[in-house]
Amino acid sequence: MWLIASELAGVVGLPTTDRNTRECLKKLAEGKPEQARKRQGTRATEYHISLLPAATQAALYKREGKIKLGDQVLELPKDTGAKKYCREALWANWDKTNNNAKEKAKEMLAAVQAVHSLVKDGTKKLDAYHYVAEQFDISFSTIRRAVAKVKDIEACDWAPALLPKHFEVAQAKKAKQFAFITPDAWEFFKADYLRQEQPSMSACYERLKDAAKHNGWEIPSLKSLIRRIEHEVPIQQRVMLREGEHALHQMFPPQERTVEGLHALEWINGDGYQHNVFVRWFNGEILRPKTWFWADVYSRKIVGWRCDISENTDSIRLSLMDVCEKYGIPKEITLDNTRAAANKWMTGGVPNRYRFTVKDDDPLGIIPMMGIKLHWSSVILGKGHGQAKPIERAFGVGGLEEYIDKHPSCAGAYTGANPMAKPDNYGSKAIEAEDFLMAIAKGVEMYNAKEKRDTEICRGFMSFNEAFNASYEAAPIRKATQEQLHVMMLQAEAVRVSRHGTIVLDAGGSLRGRKNRYYHAAMMDYIGQKLVARFDPLQLHDAIEIYTLNGVRICTAECLDKAGYGDTQAAREHKRKRTQFTKANKIAAEAKKEMDALEVAAMMKPLEEEVIPETKVVEPYRPVAIGNTVARVQVEEEAEDDYEQNFSDSVAYLMEQRKKNRL
């Protein structure tokens, strides 16, 4: 790069006039004539840039958009007009700042905008600074620094750029500033506190102080440890380590589903509810019964229920029959995978029935037989959760407990929701079963009729009944036939046909080995095969209906021996007590048997030293002959007195032991 004096005047390191610059260049070129030459077409002398001082060279290269690094001259990147700051970072910092800092930034923004407006109108910058500083009651240096902060920043991003730095610095300092604690002491405290026994932090701190004395640790105060553990261990990890994986799962926000795409009775869900009421049941036993409820998913209305001493297949089956008879057949059902709901009589034939042993010859259950699609509620980490079925809301605060368990007719029989909430009149009486069933009916009626329900469909002004009826009138409903209702009313049992074409039912119990036998000629074609017998549990001596495993009706079989008695409800109760009796006596029998074995072992004769019997034949002793005379052989006879005495002692000992325990 060659330059003349007029082009170099005023550059850093050179005079400002052409004449003085020319004289300066002549002095620099003395002794280096090769770096000075005449410019072609003129009388001016031009000089090579390497002749100039380093500062002058840097200024010239910068003016040309270049930079010199060693012996190389590189082109500087050209300014494309792009922003030289990150807008996202500025506004992210704005979101993390508190309101006080934001208000200060807004006040400073107004002052900076005033300065730029004055300068734009022709006011000198210094005059604008003084005027704005006086008007906004801030110092000159403060407004000047604020204007410098927004240099090369677009006006729409000035607010986050003017945030005071002290808040950000304080937050960063606070995050790292904790009282000193010995590393081993900190690990000791975390290991003690973050365990599933959930010890209190104060107790952990007491143990830490005790260990610190023994190990010479330096520890801060309890409040300092609380701040430190909240900063270093996130809440999710604390819940996981102290409360377990299921509690961590519960922290995840639940999924919200809409039911606007459904209609009344399209989808129902059911669950059992254990009442907190002492009831004198029909058999005289005082217990807390359990009711199975069916609720419409669309409107949340209770559409069916049956109460029994426990959650069982009969209550589910008969309550579903009530729903189908009164309203119609639902299209889909959601159930828990319980023993009562997931047995083969209710859900047999469903491929994902993860209860009991699923066999190819299982009979078709009532739910798939009715053409209802079954959905199992989710089970996570071995536990259910109330988010799975809408009916769970009916069992919560303000639900069926308020309308049924706390009904005036149940006064004195209410037990409280838990052992810590027992009323003062706990156990003072037990309500009769008939009265309690009436209380359930009245409670369900009031629950469905309550107005201004805050649900997606009721919208704060309708009741469950009104929401259900409004959709039910225009919905396509499948009505149940008498045959379908008859199937649900009857209980089922899988039996094998004997070689005589008869079947035997165990549901009625047995009397002196006698059971109910049923016969029809059509069953002769199914000898050795399994069939499904459907019967009225209260009329076991009447005819029963016979079906194949896949639900095809075969015939009506007549009872040959009317030996049945009782109903399945009584039989189930008797079986429960019999099972408890058998289990208890089985344990007692095993304990008794083990005790007798120990007694027998103690009474046995202790081990004695083995007595080796004497030989019966004695080899004669043949002495060495002395001369021609042979010694006389004397045969030693065995004494039998000792043998007979031992035998008689043993017999006497055995007789004594036999008579020892005789009454």
Contact 55, 66 (CB under 8 A): no
pLDDT band at 524, cuts 50/70/90? Answer: confident
pLDDT in tens, 212-226: 999 999 999 999 999
To the question of domain 2-75 being in CATH 3.40.50.2300, the answer is no
Is residue 444 scored above 90 in pLDDT? yes
Highest mean pLDDT among 133-137, 428-432, 537-541: 428-432
Short-list 472, 478, 518, CA closest to 498: 518
Range(s) within the chain of domains with CATH label 2.30.30.130: 490-566
pLDDT at 51: 82
Q: Kindly tell me if the per-residue pLDDT of 655 is higher than 80.
A: no
Highest-scoring range by mean pLDDT, 58-67, 330-339, 442-451: 442-451
Task: Provide the greatest CA pair distance for the chain.
Answer: 174
CA distance 202 to 221: 11
In angstroms, rounded to a whole number, what is the distance separating the alpha carbons of residues 212 and 226? 18
Residues 568-594 pLDDT 10s: 665 666 566 667 756 765 666 555 444
Average pLDDT for residues 378-401, to the nearest whole number? 74
Q: Is 430 a residue whose pLDDT tops 90?
A: yes
Provide the pLDDT for residue 431. 93
pLDDT bucket at 511, cuts 50 / 70 / 90: very low
Separation between Cα atoms, residue 456 and residue 261, nearest integer Å: 12
- First-last CA distance in the chain: 135
Among the ranges given (156-160, 309-313, 539-543), the one the predictor scored with the smallest mean pLDDT: 539-543
Give ranges for CATH 1.10.10.60 in the chain: 100-174, 178-251
Output phi, psi for 659, to 5 deg: -85, -5
Residue limits of CATH 1.10.10.10 in the chain: 2-75
Rg (CA), the chain: 50
pLDDT tens track for 242-253: 998 888 877 877
Averaged over 598-622, what is the pLDDT? Answer: 58
pLDDT average, residue stretch 31-43: 81
Tokens of 220: 């801060």
**Cα separation of 80 and 85, whole Å?**
14
- Evaluate if residue 538 carries a pLDDT over 70: no
- Does residue 130 or residue 348 have the better pLDDT? 130
Percent of the chain clearing pLDDT 70 (strictly above): 76
Start and end residues for every CATH 3.30.420.10 domain found in the chain: 267-472
CA separation for the pair 20, 636 (Å, rounded):
160
- pLDDT of 512 higher than 50: no
Give residues with Cβ within 8 angstroms of 369, minimum separation 6. 349, 487, 551
Per-residue confidence (pLDDT) for residue 610, from 0 to 100:
62
Nearest to 362 by CA among 344, 339, 381, 343: 344
CATH 3.30.420.10 assigned to 267-472: yes
Provide mean pLDDT across the span 184-188: 92
- Quote the pLDDT of residue 327: 93
Q: At the topology level of CATH, where does 490-566 sit?
A: SH3 type barrels. (2.30.30)
Q: What is the pLDDT averaged over residues 189-218? A: 92
- Lowest mean pLDDT, pick from 106-115, 134-143, 371-380: 371-380
- Give rounded-to-5 percent helix, strand, coil for the chain: 45, 15, 40
CA pair distance 9, 209, nearest whole angstrom: 78
- H or E stretch including 332? strand 332-335
Place of tokens 């002491």: 185
What type of residue sits at position 412? G
Among the ranges given (342-356, 448-462, 532-546, 639-653), the one the predictor scored with the smallest mean pLDDT: 342-356
Rounded CA-CA distance 346/487 in Å is 12
Name, of 20-29, 150-159, 398-407, the range with top average pLDDT: 398-407
Mean pLDDT of all residues in 284-289: 93
Q: Please give the Cα distance from 70 to 56 (Å, whole number).
A: 15
pLDDT range class, residue 445, cuts 50, 70, 90: very high
CATH superfamily of domain region 178-251: Homeodomain-like (1.10.10.60)
**Domain 100-174, second-level architecture:** Orthogonal Bundle (1.10)
Higher pLDDT pick, 90 / 275: 275
Q: In this predicted structure, what is the pLDDT of residue 569?
A: 65
Q: Does 357 have pLDDT greater than 60?
A: no
